[in-house]
Amino acid sequence: MPERTSQIDDPQLAAQGEAAFRWFAERMPVQRALGERFGRTRPLTGRRVAVCLHVEPKLVAWIDVLIAGGVEALAVVGCIGSTQAATAAYLATRPNVTVYAREADDWRTHNDYITEVLSSPWEILVDNGSSLTTRWHESPPAWVPLGATEETRTGKLRLAATGLPVRFPVIVVDDSPLKRTVENSLGVGQSVVDGILRATSLILGGKRVLVMGYGWCGQGISRRLLGMGAIPMVCEVDPIRRLQAKLEGNLVGSPDELLPLADLVITVTGRDHALTLDHVPLLKKDAILCNAGHFSTEIDVEAFGAASTKTWEIRKGITAYEIGNRKFFLLCQGHLVNLAAADGNPIEVMDLGLALQALSMVEISLAGGRLPQGVQPVPEAVNRATAELCLAHF
């Protein structure tokens, strides 16, 4: 394999990246325990691994686990918009790790990185949004990996949308029951409250907050809002979840009924345009809107911009709109409020999620081709082992 060079903003930022890493290194005990175990058992000995994940401090702890486990070569491609240059620089100091991540990356540079990485053979792909796996299937190279992991539902759907038969095992972490309760419900519930507090400095006690969507994330958000003294309200198209929302103490109704009552609206539906221009006349005076779903398109921000007579940034992260006779506020331009206004999911939640990834990789590595091809859930044994690790170390 040819010698590769990391494509990063500035190698000199490594010391700064190390400093930013300290607190996370300290508070990710599951990665630490995995690193020690992998150092003894070396379950990834000699493996060549290509990764596409967010390049931020928590990733470093996990990469060190893989290295301890014996990985021979690692390519790390960042995601668009989330790369921290100092962390990229620090990561690039690791032996046998090539980093492709700059803060200004866009779809074009991202695709170039993917192209370059896939030009060499890898045994395990670790993916987020199916950048590596989908490209592999669209333009299959001469080599076939032992398997891949995929972090998100989005990636799962993107791969399925190709219509192509899946040619190797793809373990979808998002389907794990651990991810649902710990990450989607508890992690997102806390971090969305956190993001709203940071962005607005307002009191939640007594606020009527409309949660649009009562999936795992919506349930977690509603519960934490209740815990902070807010009055949660829920719109949900599925009647089963709507009934659950009602009996769990949420005011339940249609957007037409509830938007006029809502001081704050949070979209977390998993679909586009949950909030559109049509809803604007229903909004309460000075309502605040934000999004906690994966895509910023849950709120039709573009249409708001086009229709507004006046738009201004009233505070960092808060845009004021005037449309017709309505004035309202949008947080973080509709980007995920827990990531854009706060630090995303709590550290422990990432520690758990990255353990699911690492142990799924070991399954792929040790199975040596015995796993079935195609999309599959995290093996039950991996879920249990991860839960045991978290119980022992949190």
Binding site for a second copy (CB under 8 A): 22-23, 26-27, 177-178, 181-182, 186-187, 190, 193-194, 197-198, 200-206, 224, 226-231, 238-240, 242-244, 246-252, 286, 314-315, 318, 320, 342-343, 346-349, 383-384, 387-388, 390-391, 394
CA distance 172 to 27: 26
- How many residues are present in the chain? 394
| DSSP line for 122-167 | -SEEEESSSHHHHHHHHS--S---SEEEE--HHHHHHHHHT-PPP-
The DSSP code sequence of 8-23 is ES-GGGHHHHHHHHHH
Other CB atoms within 10 Å distance of the CB of residue 329:
18
Residues 99 and 121 sit within 8 Å (Cβ to Cβ): no
Helix (H, G, I), strand (E, B) or coil at 84: coil
CA-nearest of 54, 139, 45 to 96 is: 45
Shortest Å, Cβ 60 to a second copy: 15
Compute the least distance from the CB of residue 223 to a second copy, in Å: 8
d(CA 73, CA 67): 9
Query: Rounded to the nearest whole angstrom, what is the least distance from the CB of residue 71 to a second copy in the complex?
Result: 27
CB of 338 to a second copy, least distance (A): 11
Minimum CB–partner distance for residue 356 and a second copy (Å):
11
Q: Around 343, how many Cα atoms within 13 Å sit in the side-chain half-sphere?
A: 9
Give the tokens for residue 236.
């949900």
CB of 167 to a second copy, least distance (A): 31
Whose Cβ is closer to a second copy: residue 203's or residue 306's?
A: 203
Instruction: Give the integer Cα–Cα distance in Å for 132 and 122.
Output: 11
Query: Residue 380 Cβ, how far from a second copy at the closest point, in Å?
Result: 9
Considering the complex, what minimum distance in angstroms separates the CB of residue 135 from a second copy?
33
| CB closer to a second copy out of 6 and 383 | 383
| β-pair partners for 313 | 319
- DSSP 8-state code for residue 2: -
Q: Tokens for 323?
A: 């449309």
Nearer to a second copy, 161 or 392 (CB): 392
What's the closest the beta carbon of residue 314 comes to a second copy, in angstroms? 5
Q: Which is nearer to a second copy, 112 or 343 (CB)?
A: 343
Is residue 108 within 8 Å of 116, Cβ to Cβ?
A: no
Q: Rounded CA gap, 168 and 177, in Å?
A: 23
Helix axes 57-68, 14-26, angle to 10 degrees: 80
Q: Which amino acid is at 24?
A: F
